[in-house]
Chain A
Amino acid sequence: MPQIAQILETYASQAFWLLIVFGLIYFVIGRGMLPKIEATVDARDRKIADDLVAAERAKAEALTMEGSSSADLMAARAAAQAEAAAAKAKAAKDAENRLAKADAEIGAKLAEAEGGIAKARATAMASIEAMASEAAADIVAKVSGAKVTAAQAATAVKTVMANG
């Protein structure tokens, strides 16, 4: 077995070259390159963690925003409804007022017209009486030749008319 047969003649060379090579591997690769690769991995892990945190935060923000916007919407709707109700009520009151006013106007006009009619009737009645008493006096004078005073005729007419 050469490993053992040659050990005395080769150990120095083996050790010498192994120490050089392993030293290079340890110091150049293990201590020089390895930390950089690990730093890359760490940076990536940190970036992923940061991104996850940021995404989480954005999600929470969006959720609160959604909540507040829906609340806003509800408030706006309620306000609009209140406004609409107020407008409706106001319109109804307006209409009522106008109706009442018109009613009153019509009533007044009616009363006035009725007053006019009554007055006209009264004057007509009076003129009918006068005419009737005159006519009655004329008729009496023509028929009987008796002179009837206007006052007498008037009382007579009045009694007749009162009787119907």
Chain B
Amino acid sequence: MHQFQIEPIAHLTLGGYDISFTNSSLFMLLVLGAIWVFMAGGMKGAIVPGRWQAAVESVTGFINNMVSSSVGPEGKAYVPLVFSLFMFILVANFMGMMPFGIVPGVHGFTVTSHLTVTAILAIMSFGTVLVVGLWRHGFHFFALFVPHGTPWWLMWLIPAIELFSFLIRPFSLALRLFVAMTAGHVLMKVLAGFVINGLNAEAAWVGAVVSLPSFILMIGITLLELLVCAIQAYVFALLTSLYINDAVNLH
């Protein structure tokens, strides 16, 4: 669990709040830098793109397609938000998978394995939906809780269920990402512990029986974890664009 520990690097306070620069902040800046470098490499604007530019354009095109297919032509305005969320989560997830630990004294950190971070991201997503919905439709936005074709005798139940499912969205967004990243890292930690402890065991056969299978499993789990990193970022971005669709078009 030490890998999730937040350690201050420089103590700072602002208005009575502790806003110390921590290892988490450091990794957020690393994520920002990585995204910036990635995007800057695709800014040449060549008509015939190079490899890097093609990679950047495929990512932006992917998000653009996702938003425009779930929101429609009006979704263009929300592409920057969804893209920022997607890139931040994706790169933060991958940054947490980087083997910084092989350098002695350096500890990796997964920004997205922290409930505070995922909650703020989810609140941004949910807040956008609320603001956009109320801005565009005013009070009519609450028609979202009464789906078309609801029978009158279910009017007491359906809106309550819809309201609940609407209000649960930020929590599900935040918890899904937080749990996926935390669980993945814990699992890898446990398997890595098996490998190390098996090798350190007094009986030599324990290494062969425990460490080797754990190591092989570890490789598979690591690949799976990389897949989860991408999928969680995709799910967060996709759900955000679907929620924005609710706000823009109702349903």
Contacts and interface: CB of A to CB of B under 8 A. Distances in A.
Given A1-B4, A11-B116, A18-B120, A25 B19 contact: no
A70 interface: no
Contact of B182 (A3, A13, A47): A3
A12 interface: yes
Interface in B36-52: 36, 39-40, 42-43, 45-47, 49
A108 B235 CA distance: 119
Interface in A20-51: 21-22, 24-26, 28-31, 33-41, 43-44, 47
Contact of A22 (B25, B47, B84, B116): B84
B250 interface: no
Nearest to B12: A13
Contacts of A44: 47, 49
A36 B43 contact: yes
Task: Sort chain A's interface into a size bin.
Answer: 35 or more
B120 A37 contact: no
Give the secondary structure class of A's interface.
helix
Task: Sort chain B's interface into a size bin.
Answer: 35 or more
A6 interface: yes
A12 B19 CA distance: 6
B236 interface: no
A13 B14 CA distance: 10
Given A19-B120, A29-B39, A37-B42, A13 B19 contact: yes
Given A3-B4, A44-B47, A38 B39 contact: no
Contact of B24 (A14, A29, A31): A14
Nearest to B56: A37
Contacts of A19: 120
A15 interface: yes
Contact of A24 (B32, B114, B115, B178): B32
B87 interface: yes
B153 interface: no
Interface in B112-140: 113-117, 120-121, 124
12 contacts: A1-B182, A13-B22, A14-B25, A17-B19, A17-B24, A18-B117, A22-B120, A28-B36, A30-B81, A30-B83, A34-B83, A47-B47
Given A14-B22, A26-B81, 15 more contacts: A2-B1, A2-B5, A3-B115, A3-B182, A10-B22, A16-B17, A18-B116, A21-B88, A22-B84, A24-B32, A25-B35, A29-B84, A30-B80, A38-B60, A40-B47
Q: A-B pairs with the 9 shortest C-beta distances?
A: A30-B80, A17-B25, A12-B17, A30-B84, A14-B116, A21-B28, A16-B19, A2-B4, A26-B84
